[in-house]
Structure 1
Amino acid sequence: MRAYHVAAPGARAALQTLPRPEPAAGEILVRIKACGLNFADLLMLDGTYQETPEPPFTLGMEVAGTVEAAGPGVTAPAPGTRVAVFCGHGGLAEYGCFPAARAVALPDAMDAVTAAAFQVAYGTSHVALAHRARLAPGERLLVLGAAGGVGLTAVEIGRAMGAEVIACARGAEKLEVARRAGAHHLIPADPERLRAEVRALGGADVVYDPVGGALFEAAFRACRPEARLLPIGFASGEVPRIKANHLLVKNLTVMGVYWGGYMAFRPEVVRESLAELMRWHGEGRLAPHVSHVLPLDRVEEGLALLRERRSTGKVVIRPD
């Protein structure tokens, strides 16, 4: 099979031909139809992601495909079942072996590309807004990086939860994507404008931030008393420093959100969240946005789209 693989420590990732894997106990073999790219894939290539595996490994965090075989002890999902899997790595290949417990059966109405773009982005935003921030109807939600993979889902989910959504993104095209996803207000990604315009609207109750850097600082200063700030990631490359005395004065709360971490210590949070999101999708309340679908031999082009912030929503790779 073909796979986008890191063969050894210090080696450059490349498309290689590898033996097709066989499922071990507790695993399923999936014929992969689609793999969603994430910013964390770039961090993994750099060796800076918090869960970067030791080489050799294959990149790709979330997949959709069909179960081909089951390892010892696995009774479900059965061969032939269409599934999505948050695998952490191993997805940018034609086949992969993954823990059966992480597989989610797909509804008939959800195609493989949509499913591969769904779990990390929608799961992160839903857990952040519903489980962590307890976003309430009528609250004002500020989303930074609002046209990106997770930011766009935060706009959509925030609107579905009844919030007044402010989208901050770079450029008119990306702001238009956020508007179509449900944003009520659009602000260019300029720190001074962000701070002034959010304050003019009355301030933010919840800040969803996958960007970090100067935009986080501007959003922090535009918060209302008792606001909640959600650091999701640091696409700007700059991890902001938070002044505790400012938290104190305005009674602010900062809540870290690492969606994948829940798989280790509270997996039921992820399961319940994804079940609700699947229902919402079935009801037509969510419309996943995929800006690029590329074949496996163009995976480096897909990663460049993320690195250079030229994509909107998700980028998906189709191994077949």
Structure 2
Amino acid sequence: MGETDAGEGERAAHVPVMLERIAEVLRPALEVPGAVVVDGTLGLGGHAEALLRAHPALRLVGIDRDTTALDRSRARLAPYADRVHFAHAEYDAVPGVLDGLDIPEVQGVLLDLGVSSPQLDEAGRGFAYSYDAPLDMRMDRTQALTAAEVVNAYPAADLARILRDYGEERFAGRIAQAIVRERARTAIDSTRRLAELVREAIPAATRRTGGNPAKRTFQALRIEVNGELSILERALPAAIDRLAVGGRIAVLSYHSLEDRMAKRALTALATDTTPPDLPVPLPDRQPELRLLTRGGEVPGDQESERNPRAASARLRAAERTRRR
């Protein structure tokens, strides 16, 4: 995930976001003999390729829910095929995937969240408001739920909640009511029509600033269709639990909801929970993680200028210091 278009041409290069920093954060853990790293959101395999190239003995477990992404990453990582295991799954399935490979613990975990450039750039996937396409937005095209079903079948109150909670949309109620009125007349089945509806529902003064007014609605629908936040909520503790002592996790997020969840999960385990009235720290209440980043690290100005989709990225990382 999170691989961004670096330029124009017949096929623009896809550049992994914050590649050098992620490689630096994970490096000490991946230099351990017999190290295994899980890339829970393999995408096009850009981060994975760099890690495999940098660590000649490293084994990698690559997980993705998008079968197209898996096919592309298999081709990209073909030179390292004897060190890579691929799995078609959501990234909260890390424990089951590792159990199936008889791998009890790993030295590294990378979760690069959000939607990848191929998903955005392929018009037929229905992720982007810049193309006219069927309302789909499924990362895993084997699942049943699509954006069209959400838009055309969810009650107005649920639509408003999704837009407000997942898209942080101020005009969630107005947009939801506009959708309900329109679908009573005819089904809303294209990205262009939905984008037009959103634009018409938002006050003119607001439309003049802040980019495309449909951005937040499309983000919210994508999160709902793919269950992104509920999966992340399950995936973070599951992935951390499989880290060996000295193992490291890196989480790259692209909007505030994801970043807050990553912050909470990592900070909670990096805190001494000894009751404050006790004179000495309790061994079983000592932190399980050590934070490796100061807050959410952001890409440098040059990377953000070169890859606009990287601009919103936030990186958080931690190292396991002990087991319960």
Range of TM-score over shorter length: 0.3 to 0.5
Q: TM-score, normalised by structure 1?
A: 0.39
Q: Which has the higher helix share?
A: 2
Q: Larger Rg: 1 or 2?
A: 2
